[in-house]
Structure 1
Amino acid sequence: MIQSAVENVQVKGVSMTDFTTNIDMNVRMMNEKLRVDRNFDILQRDVLIGGKRTHFYFIDGFVQEETIEKLVQFFYSLKESDIKDIDTFLEVGMPYTEIEKNGHYDEVEKAFLSGQTVMIIDGFDECILIDCRTYPMRSVTEPYKDKVLRGSRDGFVETLVCNAALLRRRIRDSRFSMEMYTVGERSRTDVAVCYIDDKVDKKLLERIENLISSIEVEALTMNIESLAECMFKGKWINPFPKYKYSERPDTAAAALFDGNIVIMVDTSPAVMIIPTNVFDIIEEADDFNFSPMIGTYIRLSRFFFTLLTVFLTPVWLLLESNPQWVPEWLKFITISENITVPVILQLFILELAVDGLKLAAVNTPGMLSTPLSILAGIVVGEYAVESGWFNSESLLYMAVVTVGTYSQASFEMGYALKFIRIVNLILVQFFGRIGLLAGAIFAIVLVCFNRTISGKSYIYPVIPFNSQMFKRKILRVRLPHKIKNN
């Protein structure tokens, strides 16, 4: 029967990708394509409105049931003259505002699978899309990772519309734009590109839009990370991150005011900020939540810990291997006990142990986190030293390095510093002070020759040098402002 209907439509010269005025054919096409009989959450409701047969399609869990009930109750009061054609119906018989008419099946299917309600009326060759969807989401709370001592306590969630509202609340400017794209042949994931029109780099914006539009992928399996890998296909050997991720709306809004582009992906509680250099990644919201003096101290402390995480253990290993270089007043930094396991091996084991504890902490239920901490402190601390596996100095310096790593809000930057530190340890072990110098040069080269996604320097404003911007990136200066003269 479906085949005969298709043949009739083809004879009339109408494509099967379009709706027709025959409601039976439209309903059969929807039922067949959506596989209604094989999906328990796809619901269909048949009603009679103004003497015309009407079919509703909606996804259970994606629709505001109270809104649909009120709409259907209103539709029952319509007369036949109110729905003589689709334009009259939308003008007289549709009280809801977020609606759209569409006669192309592919577009209707895409809208339906994203949660919109489809309304098919007999005699209309276009259906009506009612956007009364709602998505399951958690409450807007402070992000687990990007916490602050003072400031806003709200954070992005997994729903794109809610995230857009959090940004719009902070940027009440008509020049602020959020353009929507769809990525993934099967997932059809919503991606929003946000920018302020008079501040953004138009060439970079055009490049980003072209990159997103040209992505051919089946699905964004890991949402924002999958999108990042599709956008940047360069060499992976440089560990320093190309993007800055944030779960804080205030951080994203500040980046937009600086002329950056913010990319939001549906189902991801983090947004991507581009372009990003090394100073942007190290920068945190707490720098601006305090006075300039305190903010400068916090920022400089973070810079210090960044360098400390890279060079503390390699320098200590070099001095431990060459105790004659250590002055008398610094003799306490060397190992005074017997060394049963080579120091370099101790450091490597501890590097791996720290990562193991991170993974264990992530996967440990909240009620067991305290026993895990006690176990880790006793086993990795006291018993590890008494057994002879580790010396107390190795544990101390690795603990300092770990604390310095946690001072970074960016996981990617923390692991980039970790990889540089491991390379330095290997070079120092085999080549001594020449290896330390080579490791430092290697780290500088990786940073200096890295490029942002816009192709600009990764260490701007150092290269090219911009004194005003350099001052702003190193120190916490007052934000530019003007006072109106009344």
Structure 2
Amino acid sequence: MDFSSKLSDNMSYLKEKLNVDTNFDVVYRVIHVGGREACLYFIDGFTKDEVWLKILQAFSTLKEDSMPEDAHAFSKKYLPYGEVGLVKSDSEMIGQLLMGVSCLFIDGYDSCFTIDCRTYPARGVSEPEKDKVLRGSRDGFVETLIFNTALIRRRIRDPKLTMEITSAGESSHTDIALCYMQGRIDENLLAMIKDRINKLEVDALTMNQESLAECLYPHKWYNPFPKFKFSERPDTAAASILEGNIIILVDNSPAAMILPSSVFDIIEEADDYYFPPVTGSYLRLSRMAISVLTLYLTPLWLLLMQNPNVIPSWLEFIQLSEPPHVPLIFQLLILEFAIDGLRLAAVNTPSMLTTPLSVIAGIVLGEYSVKSGWFNSETMLYMAFVTIANYSQASFELGYAFKFMRMILLVLTALFNYWGFAIGVILSVCAVVFNKTIAGKSYIYPVIPFNWSKLKKRFLRGRLPHKEK
């Protein structure tokens, strides 16, 4: 529906449509502009009061004979603010109002003036808790979309940096920003992502990026290895854009979704580049080796415990010091679930109680669980290593992918011994090898297809390229 030139008709329609008598935060004020009656609509808490104070002061000087006949001419001449638009459709106006844009109606004009003087409640851009670095910038993304785009713009001052805005969700109308560098991205991938976002038929992106990720990549949900890399660091997002990736920012989410992402992209961290090449290469190789250990250490130990005759003499110290009261497979699986339970408990524990409860948990679950006979000390040792080592890389999704594959390996090894371990190893390798990125390319490129020069860069951090003048 298009608006009328009569202010009273527009106000009556919006009174019913916006339910202004019930919604206390939908505010409207009747004012006078140049001798004409006008009405201002805005959402309480989303508007910069000082901006509107200056605009209303400017309106108070207008005379009736100075009012132009055309709404466009009025906006150009008498609205002293940069972000001003004209809207004729009620659906577009209501959508912008609920996003926080102030809307002004003036009697005699059949258009609504939209003045974007929004301000959102936001926390400071402090360093994210999960993506911490030993050296480097200490700022991080927040839940406000415009702040996140500004953090990227601050790092890439190039006109080729493009940030397109769209929205999804019939009820939420959640803002989504696509950030990329023109000339460096895969145009086919960009077109595919835009098409899938435009065709989304969801009521709301209730889980922010996870909801969007499941809509963008609905295939092979059973493969636990992540298809996207998530980062709360603006420097990581900016570096990915310069490398030709696409960054997706979702309003109300403090994380950037980076795509396409291979397993090597997900394992990489900012510390790899904030240190000299030798140190960065060591950190990267250590992280890769530890990730492999977290997957295969406990299944391999279980296999050796089931076949003590194959243990070489120099490895005899890994054998159990006491006979187990509970089968080893059950000990390992119980600890896998117990560790997740403790992790969830730590998330919901008040910060003031974290230290004393950690001490109690360490004593009770460590010493007494061994003395009671539920667990052997060797089982506790190897599971403690796996749990701590799992935090060597920042991706929660990749950590849980390793965990799921490790549990499958443990069950297969316990049931079928050598054959079970071999089948589990093959299954875990196939889960990575046959996985695909959202662009449809190999998940382990440059291993498949093989490219030695790029593979070397994945394992060893070389000097950053410099352009010669």
2:292 is aligned, of 302, 307, 312, to: 307
Q: 2:281 maps to which residue?
A: 296
Q: 2:51 maps to which residue?
A: 67
C-alpha distance in structure 2 between counterparts of 1:80 and 1:179, whole Å:
41
**Displacement, 1:235?**
2.4
Amino acid at match of 1:156: F
**Displacement, 1:374?**
0.8
C-alpha distance in structure 2 between counterparts of 1:91 and 1:158, whole Å:
33
**Displacement, 1:329?**
2.2
Q: 2:14 maps to which residue?
A: 30
CA deviations 1:55-76 (Å, max 9, x no partner) are: 0000000001111112111111
1:272 is aligned to 2:254: no
**Displacement, 1:395?**
0.4
2:435 is aligned, of 450, 454, 465, to: 450
CA deviations 1:59-103 (Å, max 9, x no partner) are: 000001111112111111112233223233223211111110111
**Displacement, 1:480?**
1.3
C-alpha distance in structure 2 between counterparts of 1:483 and 1:369, whole Å:
53
1:156 is aligned to 2:141: yes
Gaps of at least 5 residues in structure 1 are 1-16
2:221 is aligned, of 220, 230, 236, to: 236
2:151 is aligned, of 166, 185, 189, to: 166
1:55 is aligned to 2:62: no
Q: 1:129 maps to which residue?
A: 114
C-alpha distance in structure 2 between counterparts of 1:80 and 1:392, whole Å:
88
C-alpha distance in structure 1 between counterparts of 2:76 and 2:207, whole Å:
43
1:435 is aligned to 2:434: no
C-alpha distance in structure 1 between counterparts of 2:454 and 2:422, whole Å:
30
CA deviations 1:242-282 (Å, max 9, x no partner) are: 11111000111111111010000000001110101100000
* SS of residue in 2 equivalent to 1:324: helix
1:353 is aligned, of 338, 347, 353, to: 338
1:96 is aligned to 2:81: yes
**Displacement, 1:224?**
1.0
Q: 1:395 maps to which residue?
A: 380
TM-score scaled by structure 2? 0.98
* SS of residue in 2 equivalent to 1:195: strand
CA deviations 1:370-424 (Å, max 9, x no partner) are: 0221122011100101111111000000011112211121000000000110111
What does residue range 239-258 of structure 1 map to in structure 2 within 5 Å? 239-258=224-243
Q: 1:227 maps to which residue?
A: 212
Q: 1:421 maps to which residue?
A: 406
C-alpha distance in structure 2 between counterparts of 1:467 and 1:343, whole Å:
42
Matched residue pairs, number? 468
**Displacement, 1:169?**
0.6
1:186 is aligned, of 148, 152, 171, to: 171
TM-score scaled by structure 1? 0.95
C-alpha distance in structure 2 between counterparts of 1:353 and 1:231, whole Å:
33
Amino acid at match of 1:41: D
**Displacement, 1:330?**
1.4
Amino acid at match of 2:192: R
**Percent pairwise identity:** 55
**Displacement, 1:221?**
0.7
CA deviations 1:157-178 (Å, max 9, x no partner) are: 0000000000111111111101
* SS of residue in 2 equivalent to 1:276: coil
Q: 1:10 maps to which residue?
A: none
C-alpha distance in structure 1 between counterparts of 2:156 and 2:67, whole Å:
41
**Displacement, 1:223?**
1.0
1:43 is aligned, of 24, 27, 30, to: 27
C-alpha distance in structure 2 between counterparts of 1:98 and 1:81, whole Å:
26
Q: 2:4 maps to which residue?
A: 20
**Displacement, 1:439?**
1.0
C-alpha distance in structure 1 between counterparts of 2:385 and 2:301, whole Å:
12
CA deviations 1:437-472 (Å, max 9, x no partner) are: 111111111101000011000000111112221111
Contact 1:159 1:268 in 2 (8 A): yes
Comparing 80-89 and 124-133, the one that deviates more: 80-89
C-alpha distance in structure 1 between counterparts of 2:351 and 2:31, whole Å:
50
Contact 1:245 1:410 in 2 (8 A): yes
Contact 1:117 1:131 in 2 (8 A): yes
Contact 2:290 2:392 in 1 (8 A): yes
C-alpha distance in structure 1 between counterparts of 2:357 and 2:214, whole Å:
35
**Displacement, 1:327?**
1.9
Contact 1:50 1:80 in 2 (8 A): yes
Poorly superposed stretches of 4+, deviation over 4 Å: none
Amino acid at match of 1:273: I
Contact 2:72 2:86 in 1 (8 A): no
Quote the RMSD (CA, aligned, Å): 0.9
C-alpha distance in structure 1 between counterparts of 2:455 and 2:335, whole Å:
37
Contact 2:260 2:437 in 1 (8 A): yes
CA deviations 1:87-135 (Å, max 9, x no partner) are: 3322321111111011111111111000000000000000100000101
Q: 1:13 maps to which residue?
A: none
C-alpha distance in structure 2 between counterparts of 1:237 and 1:87, whole Å:
55
Structure-2 change in CA distance of 1:477 and 1:82 (3 Å): farther
Contact 1:118 1:127 in 2 (8 A): yes
Comparing 154-163 and 335-344, the one that deviates more: 335-344
* SS of residue in 2 equivalent to 1:36: coil
Q: 1:204 maps to which residue?
A: 189
C-alpha distance in structure 2 between counterparts of 1:166 and 1:140, whole Å:
9
Amino acid at match of 1:132: C
1:385 is aligned, of 337, 349, 370, to: 370
Amino acid at match of 2:94: E
Contact 1:82 1:92 in 2 (8 A): no
Gaps of at least 5 residues in structure 2 are none
Amino acid at match of 2:10: N
1:107 is aligned to 2:104: no
Contact 1:264 1:271 in 2 (8 A): yes
Amino acid at match of 2:452: S
Q: 1:482 maps to which residue?
A: 467
1:338 is aligned to 2:327: no
C-alpha distance in structure 1 between counterparts of 2:56 and 2:430, whole Å:
66
Amino acid at match of 1:263: I
Contact 1:178 1:192 in 2 (8 A): yes
